[in-house]
Structure 1
Amino acid sequence: MRSSPEILLQVVNKFLFKHIDNTGLVLFRVFFGLLIAIEAFGAIITGWVRLNVVEPEFTFNFIGFDFLQYLIGPGMYAYFAVMGIFGIMVMLGYKYRISMVAYAIMWTAVYLIQKTSYNNHYYLMMLLCWIMAFLPAHRWFSIDAKLNPELKSPSMPRWVLLILILQVWLVYTFASVAKFYPDWLDGTTTALFMKGKSDYSLIGGFLQLEWVHYSIAYVGILFDLLIVPLLLWKRTRLLGFGISVFFHLFNSIVFQIGIFPYMSIAFALFFFSSETLQKRFLPKKKLYTGNEIILPKHKNLLITVFSIYFLFQIGLPLRHWTFKDDVLWTEEGHRLSWRMMLRSKGGMLTIYTEDKATQKRIRYDHSKLLTKKQRRSVKTKPDILWQLAQRIKNLEAEEGRDVSVYMDVRIKINGGKYFQLIDPETDLAAQKWHPFKHSEWILPSPEDYHKKPQPPPRPKSDQ
């Protein structure tokens, strides 16, 4: 009679290492490779590369990755072109491991080098690049498999499918949960986003309607929360797919957020049956039905690595609860947390430097250091303000001056009133950055900081 641990081990082995057909993974590799190639070449064509990593004298990189500043400049055009070529190689399945790892490394550097154009979708793409680098996505319908028949295989272990579905599920779930706050629920946030779309032809006026704002807000919550369960259940799969296509195409048209909507549609490949996918896309492919359980040599290492990875994927979006005050105000714990399109911020910034030798304080013109895009971003992000203070101190030191840097920063959130964000009498250049600790120079959030200002009362008529 087998013991309980033996039975559990057998269940785990069957659940994770049973082989299933790999049609969905193969097709996703093709779409994913195409999309990341478009992302790289498109960044050159649309001017993203020029605005973010060529024109700036420096970028606001993720703190601790200052060495990436050496990449900035005209050479980034060639950098992105090479990335695009690697994307095409991934799509074709040529030198797949090398090309996927190379793209993952290069895109990770792009992600870490600047925060001015921060986007959760860029983060997701980075994660997927690294996940795909470890998956056997080139074992069918690829140049690699054609050149090396021994590599060819119609199957993959089930853990491959589970990892991809779990990653997508976590993204959507945290995106939904993050929307449960007053300004989203009362339509304020969506109204502000739609205000900038009023000049769209055909739909611009429609997007200004109040009921549309509420609809977008609550459909967003429900979609993110329910789309994966809808796709998992066979009876609702087609409905879920139809909703997904409409939702993501709407986002693509209205918000113009690059490849993400199309990559999200491609995720559906992991939910449809291999029989359906094979008949529609790869009719010549052999359908695998063997259901073998093949244990890899490094099974325990594999389980350990992905267990740690998903613990981080669950922990990072929750870490803002460990910081003092509201993440909406402090921004601490905002990044890497799937907090997508949750707020609109505006800011006013005045910088003063004080020469420590003469005690003379003067207003500092920071606009000469920054591009127009950087000037908009810096006003509301405490970590970027801190980085700018360090930059100013270093530049002044090169001129032989030891200065303190003071910042008068006022921000408004979701159309509310302006409030002081940081202590204007704190020498920001003298502060140390603590990534896992609240920065005390950020002032406490006012109780009514997210409330919309009330319109002035109407004058009483003389009757």
Structure 2
Amino acid sequence: MWDKFLFKRIDNSPLLIFRIFFGILISLECYGAIITGWVKRTLIDPQFTFTFIGFEWLQPLPGIGMYVYFFAMGTLGIFIALGYKYRFSIISFTLLWTAVYLMQKTSYNNHYYLLILISAIMIFLPANADYALDAKKDPAKRTQTMAAYVKWIIIFQLFIVYTFAAIAKMYGDWLDFIFIKVLMAPKADYAIIGDLLQQHWVHIIIGSAGILFDLLIVPALLWKPTRKVAFVAAIFFHLFNSIVFQIGIFPYLSIAFMVFFFDPETIRSIFFKKRIPLQTDEIQIPQNRLLLLSAMGIYFLIQLALPIRHHFIKDDVLWTEEGHRMSWRMMLRSRTGTISFKVVNKADGSFKFASLDDYLSRSQQRKIAAYPDFIWQFTQHLKKEAAENGKEVSVYITSRVSINGKSLRTFIDPKVDLAAEPWRHFSHHSWIMPSQKQLSN
């Protein structure tokens, strides 16, 4: 049964058209990052870059280097869309995009992470088997079919994304719509819809629809009787997100994924009308079947484990942020805070307060005030800077954080010398003060 489910040959039209959409969208993302000034604000102007911890060696290129970097990625996107030197192009893009993702997290976004995953998956898929310059150059490699597992890999990845996103929303501030109110407050000056977005009944609709959409969209698209309605709902949902939240290509990439849910023949008849309809029930089991299934199993076990890892770390992830990233906890909370860094010279006890304006951009300062890994990294930077000047220092933090507009609470233990603390990727940091939830237990 599983062999038929995974290895039956089906029309590859969904994969081909997705490759074209995908290439165009990542080109727009990369060229747009240059045009809108994102590259300049995020990777060129800041004198200190918050990398993912452990990847401090990944730093932005000097001068105009990052403009060239993003232009190269955008051009690779065009190559992917055209199916030109596809394997080289998709591998190169995946590596370059992963590197830029790891070298900065001030502008962390879940769709940046999703782009890594989809790009990595696309490396192994025969997306240039037709309607590609590669196939035109070498007609012998042209084919109209693909194994059914190709579409199921994409669908299951999306199921993981949406399902964990729905589960994450099932907490107090979302269910009583407090966070929705906070989320919509900055949108009050939007033309036409600004005032509407401030209405409580709209918050109820948005909050309820957010959970229901994430929870039901994949099953609804898979079931033929609800597929068309789900498709229309998905278009409305993602366009609404694009207009209101302005989150780049993610809404349009989500719409592009929909091609995998429709019958391949339907996709062929819409996008590739000149193609001969495919008629085959062939099941083609690859020689590396066990290796292929093992690789898919390991990959999806990791994808299932990452979003639940915070349950094995002490305290509430909403407060500590430990286990938040790469877990599809999307648009889930608003964090603000105040912070100061007291740098004490161990030799004579003299101290000074670090001026954040001397080191960080405004967006970086907003992050460092409320996120523990940013705080720890900047502390280590101050320690290193002092060491380069022949000084050994301790660094003490005064930090207060507000989540979803609630009252400020002490976030970092002010008695701990954070410069002396190690970073732990998979366990709790005791210098983060307990959450109210933890205190009540």
2:355 aligned to which of 365, 379, 389: 365
| 1:286-328: CA deviation from partner (whole Å, max 9, x where unpaired) | 3322221222232211111111010010000000000100000
Q: In 2, distance between residues paired with 1:300 and 1:53?
A: 43
Aligned residue number for residue 21 of structure 1: 11
Aligned residue number for residue 82 of structure 2: 92
Aligned residue number for residue 377 of structure 1: 367
SS at match of 1:196: helix
Q: In 2, distance between residues paired with 1:366 and 1:235?
A: 57
- Detail structure 1 runs of 4+ shifted over 6 Å in the superposition: none
The one-letter amino acid paired with 2:198 is Q
How many percent of aligned residue pairs carry the same amino acid? 51
Decide whether the 8 Å contact of 2:43 with 2:60 is kept in 1.
Answer: no
Decide whether the 8 Å contact of 1:423 with 1:443 is kept in 2.
Answer: yes
Aligned residue number for residue 180 of structure 2: 190
Is 1:152 matched up with 2:149?
no
Q: In 1, distance between residues paired with 2:355 and 2:244?
A: 36
Aligned residue number for residue 48 of structure 2: 58
Q: In 2, distance between residues paired with 1:362 and 1:32?
A: 51
SS at match of 2:344: strand
Decide whether the 8 Å contact of 1:154 with 1:286 is kept in 2.
Answer: no
Is 1:392 matched up with 2:379?
no
The one-letter amino acid paired with 1:52 is T
Q: In 1, distance between residues paired with 2:49 and 2:64?
A: 14
Aligned residue number for residue 268 of structure 2: 278
Aligned residue number for residue 287 of structure 2: 297
| 1:180-209: CA deviation from partner (whole Å, max 9, x where unpaired) | 001001111111111100000011011110
Q: In 1, distance between residues paired with 2:438 and 2:295?
A: 44
Q: In 2, distance between residues paired with 1:329 and 1:74?
A: 38
Q: In 1, distance between residues paired with 2:399 and 2:105?
A: 19
Aligned residue number for residue 325 of structure 2: 335
2:224 aligned to which of 223, 227, 234: 234
Aligned residue number for residue 429 of structure 1: 419
Is 1:108 matched up with 2:98?
yes
The one-letter amino acid paired with 2:137 is L
Give 1:247-266 correspondences, 5 Å limit.
Answer: 247-266=237-256
Decide whether the 8 Å contact of 2:315 with 2:438 is kept in 1.
Answer: no
Q: In 2, distance between residues paired with 1:264 and 1:31?
A: 11
Q: In 1, distance between residues paired with 2:60 and 2:218?
A: 41
Decide whether the 8 Å contact of 1:58 with 1:72 is kept in 2.
Answer: no
Is 1:40 matched up with 2:30?
yes
Q: In 1, distance between residues paired with 2:326 and 2:436?
A: 25
**TM-score by structure 2 length?**
0.98
Quote the offset at 1:73 in angstroms.
Answer: 4.9
| 1:245-302: CA deviation from partner (whole Å, max 9, x where unpaired) | 0000000000000000001011110011122111111001233222212222322111
Decide whether the 8 Å contact of 2:44 with 2:60 is kept in 1.
Answer: no
Q: Extract unaligned runs of 5+ from structure 1.
A: 1-10, 450-463
Q: In 2, distance between residues paired with 1:81 and 1:377?
A: 28
1:315 aligned to which of 305, 317, 339: 305
The one-letter amino acid paired with 2:222 is L
| 1:208-248: CA deviation from partner (whole Å, max 9, x where unpaired) | 10000111000000000001111101111100000000000
Quote the offset at 1:448 in angstroms.
Answer: 10
Aligned residue number for residue 214 of structure 2: 224
Q: In 2, distance between residues paired with 1:311 and 1:288?
A: 34
Is 1:439 matched up with 2:434?
no
Q: From the superposition, tell whether residues 73 and 335 of structure 1 become closer, same or farther in structure 2 (CA, over 3 Å).
A: farther
Q: In 2, distance between residues paired with 1:233 and 1:72?
A: 51
Is 1:168 matched up with 2:158?
yes
What count of residue pairs does the alignment treat as equivalent? 440
Q: In 2, distance between residues paired with 1:232 and 1:356?
A: 63
Q: In 2, distance between residues paired with 1:320 and 1:354?
A: 34
Decide whether the 8 Å contact of 1:352 with 1:406 is kept in 2.
Answer: yes
The one-letter amino acid paired with 1:237 is R
| 1:33-92: CA deviation from partner (whole Å, max 9, x where unpaired) | 000111110010111100111111121111111110253653000000000010000000
**TM-score by structure 1 length?**
0.93
Decide whether the 8 Å contact of 2:316 with 2:438 is kept in 1.
Answer: no
Q: In 2, distance between residues paired with 1:74 and 1:322?
A: 43
| 1:410-451: CA deviation from partner (whole Å, max 9, x where unpaired) | 0011111111001111111110111011101111112499xx
| 1:322-341: CA deviation from partner (whole Å, max 9, x where unpaired) | 01000000000000000011
